Amino acid sequence: MERKISKSRIEKRLKTKKDPLLVETIIKLKKTNPEVAKELAKPKRRWPSINLRDIDAVKGDVIIAGKILSSGEIHKTKKVVAWSASKKALEKMKKAKVSFVKITEELKKNPKLNNLTLVKDGKA
Protein backbone atom coordinates (compact mmCIF):
# COMPACT_ATOMS: atom_id res chain seq x y z
CA MET A 1 0.00 0.00 0.00
CA GLU A 2 1.37 3.36 -0.99
CA ARG A 3 1.36 6.16 1.55
CA LYS A 4 -0.48 9.32 0.65
CA ILE A 5 1.32 12.60 1.09
CA SER A 6 -0.45 15.81 1.92
CA LYS A 7 0.04 19.04 0.05
CA SER A 8 1.44 20.62 3.22
CA ARG A 9 4.07 17.87 3.40
CA ILE A 10 5.06 18.63 -0.20
CA GLU A 11 5.32 22.29 0.85
CA LYS A 12 7.75 21.33 3.65
CA ARG A 13 9.90 19.37 1.23
CA LEU A 14 10.08 22.40 -1.08
CA LYS A 15 12.15 24.28 1.50
CA THR A 16 15.10 21.92 0.94
CA LYS A 17 15.10 22.35 -2.85
CA LYS A 18 17.71 24.66 -4.39
CA ASP A 19 16.67 24.55 -8.07
CA PRO A 20 14.13 27.36 -8.68
CA LEU A 21 12.77 25.66 -11.83
CA LEU A 22 12.10 22.48 -9.86
CA VAL A 23 10.36 24.41 -7.08
CA GLU A 24 8.16 26.23 -9.60
CA THR A 25 7.29 22.94 -11.31
CA ILE A 26 6.36 21.25 -8.03
CA ILE A 27 4.13 24.18 -7.03
CA LYS A 28 2.26 23.99 -10.37
CA LEU A 29 1.93 20.20 -10.15
CA LYS A 30 0.74 20.30 -6.55
CA LYS A 31 -2.54 21.79 -7.76
CA THR A 32 -3.07 19.72 -10.91
CA ASN A 33 -1.27 16.40 -10.39
CA PRO A 34 -0.19 15.81 -6.75
CA GLU A 35 1.09 12.30 -7.45
CA VAL A 36 3.83 13.59 -9.78
CA ALA A 37 4.50 16.53 -7.42
CA LYS A 38 5.07 14.04 -4.61
CA GLU A 39 7.67 12.16 -6.67
CA LEU A 40 9.52 15.35 -7.62
CA ALA A 41 9.44 16.62 -4.03
CA LYS A 42 11.47 13.60 -2.89
CA PRO A 43 15.25 13.95 -2.52
CA LYS A 44 16.94 13.55 -5.93
CA ARG A 45 18.78 10.43 -4.78
CA ARG A 46 15.36 8.76 -4.40
CA TRP A 47 14.03 9.79 -7.81
CA PRO A 48 13.35 6.82 -10.07
CA SER A 49 15.85 5.93 -12.79
CA ILE A 50 13.88 4.11 -15.46
CA ASN A 51 15.43 2.12 -18.31
CA LEU A 52 14.15 2.17 -21.88
CA ARG A 53 13.10 -1.50 -21.68
CA ASP A 54 10.77 -0.62 -18.77
CA ILE A 55 9.25 2.25 -20.77
CA ASP A 56 8.76 -0.08 -23.75
CA ALA A 57 6.76 -2.50 -21.57
CA VAL A 58 4.20 0.19 -20.61
CA LYS A 59 1.26 0.83 -22.94
CA GLY A 60 0.62 4.38 -24.08
CA ASP A 61 2.41 7.62 -23.29
CA VAL A 62 4.41 7.79 -20.06
CA ILE A 63 5.65 10.33 -17.53
CA ILE A 64 8.69 9.74 -15.34
CA ALA A 65 9.41 11.96 -12.35
CA GLY A 66 13.11 11.22 -12.59
CA LYS A 67 15.72 10.19 -15.15
CA ILE A 68 15.61 7.91 -18.19
CA LEU A 69 18.57 5.56 -18.62
CA SER A 70 19.62 3.80 -21.83
CA SER A 71 19.59 0.12 -20.84
CA GLY A 72 17.51 -1.90 -23.29
CA GLU A 73 15.74 -0.85 -26.45
CA ILE A 74 12.48 0.91 -27.17
CA HIS A 75 10.45 -0.28 -30.14
CA LYS A 76 7.08 1.41 -29.77
CA THR A 77 6.48 4.96 -30.95
CA LYS A 78 5.18 6.89 -27.98
CA LYS A 79 5.53 10.13 -26.06
CA VAL A 80 7.89 10.10 -23.08
CA VAL A 81 7.81 12.94 -20.54
CA ALA A 82 10.56 13.09 -17.90
CA TRP A 83 12.65 15.48 -15.84
CA SER A 84 15.86 14.37 -17.61
CA ALA A 85 17.44 11.63 -19.74
CA SER A 86 20.94 10.34 -20.38
CA LYS A 87 22.63 11.16 -23.70
CA LYS A 88 22.53 7.54 -24.88
CA ALA A 89 18.85 7.25 -23.98
CA LEU A 90 18.10 10.39 -26.01
CA GLU A 91 19.99 8.94 -28.99
CA LYS A 92 18.10 5.63 -28.79
CA MET A 93 14.75 7.39 -28.46
CA LYS A 94 15.54 9.61 -31.44
CA LYS A 95 16.46 6.55 -33.50
CA ALA A 96 13.19 4.82 -32.51
CA LYS A 97 11.20 8.00 -33.32
CA VAL A 98 10.01 8.39 -29.73
CA SER A 99 9.16 11.97 -28.78
CA PHE A 100 10.89 13.07 -25.56
CA VAL A 101 9.55 16.12 -23.72
CA LYS A 102 10.73 17.62 -20.45
CA ILE A 103 8.14 17.90 -17.68
CA THR A 104 8.40 21.70 -17.64
CA GLU A 105 7.56 21.92 -21.36
CA GLU A 106 4.68 19.44 -21.08
CA LEU A 107 3.16 21.46 -18.22
CA LYS A 108 2.79 24.44 -20.56
CA LYS A 109 0.88 22.38 -23.16
CA ASN A 110 -0.96 19.96 -20.86
CA PRO A 111 -1.19 21.38 -17.29
CA LYS A 112 -3.10 18.40 -15.87
CA LEU A 113 -0.81 15.86 -17.58
CA ASN A 114 -3.80 13.99 -18.99
CA ASN A 115 -3.35 10.68 -20.87
CA LEU A 116 0.07 10.01 -19.32
CA THR A 117 0.92 6.95 -17.21
CA LEU A 118 3.23 7.61 -14.25
CA VAL A 119 6.08 5.08 -14.16
CA LYS A 120 7.79 4.46 -10.81
CA ASP A 121 10.52 1.87 -10.25
CA GLY A 122 9.99 0.32 -13.68
CA LYS A 123 6.28 -0.30 -13.05
CA ALA A 124 3.28 1.70 -14.16
Query: What CATH number does the domain containing 91 carry?
Result: 3.100.10.10
Please give the tally of structural domains in the chain.
1
Q: Write out pLDDT tens, residues 24-40.
A: 999 999 889 999 999 99
What pLDDT sits at residue 3? 62
Asked if the structure places residue 1 within a domain, the reply is: no
15, 32, 90, 105 from 109: Cα distances, Å: 27, 13, 21, 7
Asked if the structure places residue 80 within a domain, the reply is: yes
Phi, psi (5° rounding) for residue 83? -70, -40
One digit per residue, the tens of pLDDT, for the chain of length 124 reads 456 677 788 888 888 888 899 999 999 998 899 999 999 999 999 999 999 999 999 999 999 999 999 999 999 999 999 999 999 999 999 999 999 999 999 999 999 999 999 998 777 7
Asked if the structure places residue 102 within a domain, the reply is: yes
C-alpha closest to that of 29 among 37, 38, 19: 37
Q: Report the predicted TM-score, pTM, of the whole model to 2 decimal places.
A: 0.88
CA torsion sign for 91, 92, 95, 97 is negative
Domain that holds residue 78: 7-118
Asked if the structure places residue 110 within a domain, the reply is: yes
